């Protein structure tokens, strides 16, 4: 399986369990690795035979900016399901970064990574 990766998609969302997170929002960063067969697209040099990563990026940002959820695990699942709706995408790895998580000790980042595939 071939891979198409998008790294560092940034969007502001209102996800979290604390009222301040819901009210003020924060930046979330998403990395994606889409698994698909790129041979048909490469053979014909045809965008219609692969995944349009620009559209995927816009859809992922819309999910992050959309309906708030408590957990980044839930957010990652919603992003994965949006990616798998694209024809040809057989699997996806989603990593959601929450660099401004409400943690009381110094830290660099919090991430949740999930892998989903068509069943």
- Which active-site residues does the annotation give? 98
Query: CA 95 to CA 113: how far, in whole Å?
Result: 4
Six token digits for residue 89: 């995408």
Contact 50, 4 (CB under 8 A): yes
Q: List, in order, residues 6 or more apart from 69 with CB less than 8 Å away.
A: 15, 75, 78
Distance of CA 96 to the CA centre of its chain: 6
């Amino acid at each position: 399986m071939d891979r198409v990766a998008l790294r560092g998609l940034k969007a502001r969302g209102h996800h979290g369990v604390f009222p301040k997170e819901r009210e003020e929002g924060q930046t979330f960063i998403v990395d994606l690795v889409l698994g698909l067969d790129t041979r048909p697209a490469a053979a014909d040099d045809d965008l219609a035979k692969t995944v349009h990563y620009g559209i995927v990026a816009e859809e992922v940002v819309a999910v992050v900016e959309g309906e708030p959820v408590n957990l980044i695990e839930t957010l990652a699942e919603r992003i994965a399901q949006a990616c798998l709706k694209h024809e040809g995408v057989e699997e996806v790895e989603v990593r959601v970064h929450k660099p401004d998580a409400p943690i009381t000790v110094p830290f660099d980042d919090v991430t949740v990574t999930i892998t989903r595939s068509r069943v």
